[in-house]
Every structure is written in structure tokens, then in C-alpha cells.
């Protein structure tokens, strides 16, 4: 199994790639959402962006770093970076431990659903503890996989 663990022929690896791809694409989409809000709210961080807007439209705006819509999206994006990257890295190591396929798939699915829910709760916003529960569930999944990796390394 070791030679074929990280190949598409391994259904568990293919399943992991699907869910990792979903959460990585969602994380990438947060950059586009930030740009959308920057343009919609005319809230740019740098002087050169403000100058470019002025050249295109004649609007004179000053740099701003405290637009609440943008800060909400950036907070969500930052949280994705803190959680999705460890999930992907630990998930790759976890696959190498030859885990029970059903449990592994549940880890991947639960993490993905938790991260999607977290983003909805962050961006909508839903009342707390909604967002915190979404984060916690995803964190527990990553922690569980990490513990499995460490235990497999000890044995």
C-alpha cells in the first residue's frame, strides 16, 4: 500500500483530495470576496489603489483600513489560513498512516462542512456561538488526525 498511498488509484486519497480541494478553493475565494467588497465600498488600503480609482472614475478616496465589511471577510480568510493549511498538511500525513477508510472520510467531510458553516456564520453573521462551534468542530477533526499521525509514528 505504501507505494500507492498518494495516488488517485487509492480511493481514500482521492476522497481526501476532493475535500482538501473544496476547502482550499473556498479559502482562495475569500481573496476575491475581499476585492469585491473593496470595490463595492471604495475602501482601498493603499494610496496607489486610491489613485487608480481616481484615474478611472474621478472619485477621490483616501486609504482606509477599517471598513467593517472588508474586515469581516479578512477575518474569515485569516481564520481559513490558520485552519485549512494545517488540515491539508496533517491530512496528507494521516493518509500515510493507512487509517480506517470510513473514519478518514468522516474526518474529511466533517472538517469541510464545519469550515463551510464557519464561513457562513462569520460572513452572515450568525449569532455566537455558531461561528465558534464551526471552528471548534474543524479544529477537533484536525487534532484527531494529528494525534493519529503522532501515535502511528510512535508505534
Is the per-residue pLDDT at 153 higher than 60? Answer: yes
* 78: in domain: yes
* 59: in domain: no
**Cβ-contact 149, 93 below 8 angstroms:** yes
* 149: in domain: yes
Query: Domain range spanning residue 116?
Result: 8-41+68-154
pLDDT, one tens digit per residue, over 20-68 is 999 999 999 999 999 999 888 887 887 887 788 788 888 788 878 888 9
* 93: in domain: yes
pTM for this one? 0.89
Number of domains in the chain: 1
**Cβ-contact 59, 42 below 8 angstroms:** yes
The CATH number of the domain holding residue 88 is: 1.20.120.550
**For residue 97, with 0-12 CB atoms within 10 Å meaning exposed, 13-18 middle and 19 or more buried, which class applies?**
middle
* 49: in domain: no
**For residue 144, with 0-12 CB atoms within 10 Å meaning exposed, 13-18 middle and 19 or more buried, which class applies?**
middle
* 139: in domain: yes
Amino acid at each position: 500500500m505504501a507505494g500507492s498511498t498518494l495516488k488517485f488509484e487509492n480511493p481514500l486519497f482521492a476522497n481526501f483530495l476532493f475535500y482538501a480541494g473544496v476547502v482550499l478553493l473556498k479559502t482562495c475565494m475569500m481573496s476575491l470576496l475581499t476585492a469585491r467588497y473593496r470595490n463595492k465600498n471604495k475602501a482601498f488600503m493603499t494610496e496607489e489603489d486610491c489613485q487608480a480609482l481616481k484615474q478611472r472614475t474621478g472619485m477621490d478616496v483616501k486609504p482606509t483600513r477599517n471598513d467593517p465589511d472588508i474586515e469581516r471577510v479578512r477575518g474569515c480568510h485569516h481564520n481559513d489560513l490558520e485552519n485549512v493549511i494545517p488540515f491539508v498538511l496533517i491530512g496528507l500525513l494521516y493518509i500515510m498512516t493507512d487509517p480506517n477508510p470510513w473514519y478518514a472520510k468522516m474526518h474529511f467531510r466533517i472538517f469541510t462542512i464545519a469550515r463551510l458553516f464557519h464561513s457562513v456564520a462569520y460572513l452572515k453573521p450568525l449569532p455566537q456561538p455558531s461561528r465558534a462551534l464551526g471552528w471548534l468542530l474543524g479544529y477537533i477533526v484536525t487534532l484527531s488526525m494529528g494525534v493519529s499521525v503522532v501515535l502511528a509514528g510512535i508505534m
